[in-house]
Amino acid sequence: MRTLSSQLYSNGGLTWFQKKNQSSLFIKHLRVSKPSRVQLISAVQFRPCIDIHKGKVKQIVGSTLRDLKEDGSVLVTNFESDKSAEEYAKMYKEDGLTGGHVIMLGADPLSQAAAIGALHAYPGGLQVGGGINSENCMSYIEEGASHVIVTSYVFNNGKIDLERLKDIVSIVGKQRLILDLSCRKKDGRYAIVTDRWQKFSDVILDEKSLEFLGGSRTQERDV
């Protein structure tokens, strides 16, 4: 998704919103004493995302992404792009979009290659997640990732594995580690889920857990 340059103009009580060479009526009867030009400022920051599955950029219903299909369920894909992850990364770089991430929905070689291609296209501009652990985390930083995103490796077997957390922090540093606190509702509370949203952990998102995790100076993503 590209950003569009836009301005908010006012002249003699009539205001309109202009995108490139097209104008459309925006607000009528705005009380303006004299013609003026006002810069439109947004309080919302757009953070781009690239989800990769089998080497392709896709938007998938997360709960349908399973390791085993014993229950007869099928993968539900909302959208599959004909553009590569690298093309999207170049687009985000050109538009100056920061704080985005590329996620590998599976550790297959095609997805890994696509993710690395995106990191090379926008070095230092994208975070990376999906199958990150203490053995491969530094390699993604070296390939151009600004941060590594971790969930299943740290929230292991339903609990916070403090040894793994300390291990990965010692390798990449606190400033380049992001804990993904993706969660689902269970018994009226929100619990962190791992392994592509399949497994519930016993870590409940509340003030106490957020304070504890925040003490590690890690970041939250998409809570």
Arithmetic mean of pLDDT, 87-99 = 95
Per-residue pLDDT for 106 more than 50? yes
Q: What is the pLDDT of residues 194-221, one digit of tens each?
A: 876 778 888 998 999 888 887 654 444 4
The pLDDT assigned to 75 comes to 74
Angle at 161 between CA 49 and CA 166, to 5 degrees: 80
The pLDDT assigned to 8 comes to 39
Q: What is the pLDDT of residues 108-155, one digit of tens each?
A: 999 999 999 999 999 999 999 999 999 999 999 999 999 999 988 998
Per-residue pLDDT for 84 more than 90? yes
Burial class from Cβ neighbours inside 10 Å (0-12, 13-18, 19+) for residue 204 reads middle
The pLDDT assigned to 152 comes to 86
pLDDT higher at 118 or 184 = 118
The pLDDT assigned to 38 comes to 53
The answer to whether the predicted template modeling score (pTM) of the entire model surpasses 0.85 is no
Computed over every residue of the chain, the mean pLDDT equals 78
Angle at 220 between CA 218 and CA 223, to 5 degrees: 155
* Cα–Cα dist 151/131, whole Å: 9
The pLDDT assigned to 14 comes to 35
Domain span(s) for CATH 3.20.20.70 in the chain:
49-61+75-180
* CB-based contacts of 81, cutoff 8 Å, min separation 6: 56, 57, 58, 88
pLDDT higher at 87 or 2 = 87
Whose tokens are 């689902």? That residue is: 184
What is the CATH topology of the domain spanning 49-61+75-180? TIM Barrel (3.20.20)
